[in-house]
Structure 1
Amino acid sequence: MEFYSLLFLLLPFAALSGWWMAVRNQRKAHSLIFSRYQKEYLAALKYLVDDQPDKAIQIFTGLVEVDKDTIELHEALGNLFRQRGEVEKAIQIHQNLITKAPLQSGLRSQAIFSLAEDYMRAGLFDRAEALYLELLESGVYKVPSLTALIDIYERERDWTNAINFCQQLERATDKSLKTVEAHYYCELAQEVLNREDPTEAQKYLEQSILCDPNCLRALILSSELSMQMRDYAQAINMMQLVLGRDPSLFPLVKSNLRQCYLMLNTKSAYQSYLQSLLEISFTSPILIEITFELESSEGTESASNYLTDHLRKNPTLAGLSRLIELNTKLVQPAQKNDFQILSELIGSLSKDQPAYKCHNCGFTASYLHWQCPSCKRWNSVTPAVTK
């Protein structure tokens, strides 16, 4: 631990001394400002070595002038403080640079961008936003500023601005971000759905599907909108479209799908649809749902026999757990304890298995996130186990 602490302490020294040697070796381009303030820079270097960064910062911010050589030193030191988590010190240095760097210069823009990054790290998103917008107006750092602004608006759930700057980023990079935009429209649709505003929700969902015709989230929300409008047949059609493309999303729509069939008094059609879906793509949630329907309509033994036949071909822990549950109801009271022990053993094997996992960063969750909370990717979280 002492070695790593010492190494971390020497990082500013390495950055500063490396820069100083580079300047000395380029005598023809030697900075006049550095020569003028050589004593101060060396004193700052000593304070950094002595682990007194506050005194070093006082020297840097006290210097009257900066130029293209010295600004690189200030930049390197400020960025180093940010990387070390000392954001307040980084902010001090970069704020000082902005006041002293020549106006209308690339040096000032560089300092503004670094300060915006400091504010982002500190969670001061309103200040960071103002600086990124200033950079956009000046026409520099366009792509990184647009990317950062989109990040800010996602965090603040300002989906309208997120769409606007996402479209600007598309034009700046000639790279399609339609899949992301589709999710932004879905977020807007979800907000108005919660307020029961079907007209506005429909508008956003149409925009989402225009952006990405394969956006299953938009279809799921469309089914919820149809349910609000009591158009249960249309809601079923939407959910069947979703499951036709990705049966692993069945847990997301199961409750609504069943309710729609019940509202239309077609419960038997629900069971028939599930069985046809299972033939196309075997997944445990669909199989288990069928057993609940069978148990309700034909009895526990029929459900148990049906499940046993399928588990012989496709054994799963979830299916086995459901089979034990069914057979516990069929056995004599003296045997129930044995089945309870089996159920607990199966539960202990499956309890640590995540329901969903991000295929980009490995984040795991018990429910679906359309945007990974860890890496912030959209559409990257999928069912971890589909069988």
Structure 2
Amino acid sequence: MSEITSLPLSRRSLIVGAGATAAMLAGTRTGLAADPLKVGFVYVGPIGDHGYSYSHDLGRKAVEAEFGDRVKVTFVENVNEGPDSERVIRQLATAGNGLIFSTSFGFMQPTIRVARQFPKVVFEHATGYMRADNVGIYNGRFYEGRAVLGTIAGLVSKTGSVGYVASFPIPEVIMGINAFLLAARKVRPDLTVKVIWLNSWYDPGKEADAAKALIDGGADVIAQHVDSPAAMQVAEARGAYAFGQASDMSRFAPRAHLTAIVYDWAPYYKERVKLVLDGAWKSDDTWWGLKEGLIRMAPYNPSLPEEIRKQADAVRDAIAAGTLQPFAGPVKDQKGAVRIAAGETISDADLLKMDWLVEGVQS
């Protein structure tokens, strides 16, 4: 078994030797140029979640539309993180898929293990940090969009209390909560965020119950890092505001839905498939956000005042331009300790291992 080593010059990843080289992978595709490239996608939720897995599946469909009969694309949905995902990923490799996208954080170790056994197969893993010669990683800077949502929440909340329905306390989710509150407090310094952890990416019943509890506790705005529109539908029924997750969810809550972070994976998927088809793929570490268009904002609710729209747009545009850093110091954690000093910002490496919540988050 290859040894895991840190790559000092890398922005955020670990390289795991898998015994394959870019030249070997390129040569494999060249030799099969006459055959369609078989591409497999593994999703943690159903494609009908209208959130994260749904957004990835739109990217899959874009690949089919772009490359036609040059590819043969399949997907497996509702795959549990852990042993189930390793079994599914291995089955896709055994079935002759030359490129496999595993799209959830908990698929990371299973992807690495299967990649060691199939050095001629190309693997791409979303939201993780472990790479190999035949494993690339990719991620979205979701926290950038959440800073825009936080700005809006701070401007529309009357109670100063926002509810946050969260999945797992992993860095991706924690940095989103923190960016949301830091942005909200720039426009309303007394605002607090109450988090309910579900330890699930997709469970509409639990999501609805959490939203009800948060609203009963005084929240008049609901944010979420879970994948169904259930929490927003509760907000609609209870007279609160809400934000969608991963796609425009306004049709489920036309009054409550103020906007949403939209994940657009299509450009990335098309780029990576083309590289494999051309025999030019190599393991890479990609983290795109508002600037690159992987993250964008859904249309604002027509009821949102123009002044609030302008402030939200200004935050979005400044982040995309690199002139505004959502984690610029000073930043304190829940215990009041300074985590980011005044005049400083946080590195990507520290973002990707963030395990602390900012001052004002109640969890």
TM band (smaller chain): under 0.3
If each structure's strand is expressed as a fraction of its own residues, which one has the higher value? Answer: 2
TM-score w.r.t. structure 1 length?
0.22
Give the TM-score normalised by structure 2.
0.23
Which is higher, the Rg of structure 1 or of structure 2?
Answer: 1
Of structures 1 and 2, the one with the larger relative CO (CA 8 A, separation 6+) is: 2
